[in-house]
Amino acid sequence: MKSADAAIRALAFDLDGTLVDSAPDIGHALNSALRDEGFAAFELDRVREWIGDGPDVLIERALAALSVRDEATLHARLRLGFDAATFRSPLGQGRVFDGIDALLSRLRPAWPMAVVTNKPTALARAVLDAAGLLPYFAAVYGADTAAQRKPAPDMLLRAAADFGLGPAQLLMVGDSGADLRAAQSAGAPSAWVEWGYAGVKPLPVAPRWRIANPAQLWPILHPAAPGVVG
What residues act catalytically?
14
- DSSP string for 89-141: -TTSS-EEPTTHHHHHHHHTTT--EEEEESS-HHHHHHHHHHHT-GGG-SEEE
Ramachandran assignment for 111, one of left (phi > 0), alpha (psi -120 to 50 degrees), beta (any other)? beta
Buried b or exposed e, range 77-101, using 16+ CB within 10 angstroms: ebbebbbebbeebbbeebebbeebb
Closest C-alpha to 123, from 199, 51, 217, 214: 51
How far is 159 from 140, CA to CA, in rounded Å? Answer: 9
How far is 18 from 190, CA to CA, in rounded Å? Answer: 13
How far is 146 from 178, CA to CA, in rounded Å? Answer: 13
Query: For the purposes of burial, counting CB atoms within 10 Å of the CB of 103, is it exposed (0-12), middle (13-18) or buried (19 or more)?
Result: buried
CB atoms under 10 Å from CB of 4, counted, come to: 20
